[in-house]
């Protein structure tokens, strides 16, 4: 059996399946898409989702017996094993390092900070939780600081985060930045 990609395109911001899906489509990587509906708990069902070896996460890639999760790791793996546009994840060591630098910063600084408004404005009210205004304002200040750092460190005078062309870094960025 060939490649299988398990994903839920509605899973943002915690698991950016969309970025992996876009990467696969833009690079014409042949694989079988398997939709997993997280809100229905399908990722917890071993009969429905046997590839996970109980990881219970999406996106998830199955390549024969090899299983890989995490939205950053999957496109990197696919770049190494399939013909992809070089600018997406360049072979050049310094360009490659800048993409990895952004992806590390994104995981450390963006993911948690930018997902807070979704929880505060949508999910918390659904379950009856009231978030203090001070915490909301503190998060807003942190978001503003991180957006300024994004401009100063990564964008500077470039049209994209790490180069003059769209890379894996740019595909990963919109997931949380759209929440701000």
What pLDDT is attached to residue 179? Answer: 47
What pLDDT is attached to residue 145? Answer: 92
CATH number (1.10.10.10, 1.20.1050.10, 3.40.718.10, 3.40.50.800) of 93-177 reads 1.20.1050.10
What pLDDT is attached to residue 11? Answer: 61
pLDDT < 70 regions, the chain: 1, 11-15, 47-55, 174-180
CA dist 105 and 84 (Å) reads 24
8 Å CB contact between 1 and 34: no
Q: Does domain 3-81 have CATH number 3.40.50.300?
A: no
How far CA 146 is from CA of 66, 78, 111, 113, 118, in Å, comes to 36, 29, 11, 9, 17
What pLDDT is attached to residue 3? Answer: 92
Nearest partner of 35 among 10, 54, 16, judged by Cα: 10
What pLDDT is attached to residue 180? Answer: 45
What pLDDT is attached to residue 12? Answer: 55
Measure CA 64 to chain center.
23
Task: Name the residue ranges covered by the structural domains of the chain.
Answer: 3-81, 93-177
Q: Which residue has the tokens 């998060």?
A: 139
CA dist 119 and 27 (Å) reads 33
């Amino acid at each position: 059996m060939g490649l299988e990609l398990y994903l839920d395109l509605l899973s943002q911001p915690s698991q950016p399946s969309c970025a992996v899906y876009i990467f696969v489509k833009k690079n014409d990587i042949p694989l079988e898409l398997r939709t997993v509906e997280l809100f229905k708990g399908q990722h917890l069902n071993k009969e429905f989702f046997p590839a996970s070896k109980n990881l219970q996460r999406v996106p998830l890639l199955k390549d024969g017996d090899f299983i890989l999760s995490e939205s950053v790791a999957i496109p990197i793996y696919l770049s190494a094993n399939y013909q992809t546009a070089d600018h997406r994840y360049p072979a050049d060591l310094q360009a490659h390092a800048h993409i990895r630098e952004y992806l590390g910063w994104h995981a450390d600084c963006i993911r948690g900070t930018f997902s807070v408004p979704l929880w505060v404005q949508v999910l918390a009210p659904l379950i009856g939780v009231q978030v203090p205004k001070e915490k909301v304002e503190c998060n807003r200040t942190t978001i503003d600081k991180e957006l300024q750092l994004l401009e100063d460190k990564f964008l500077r005078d470039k049209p994209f985060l790490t180069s003059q062309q769209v890379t894996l870094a740019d595909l990963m960025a919109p997931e949380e930045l759209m929440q701000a």
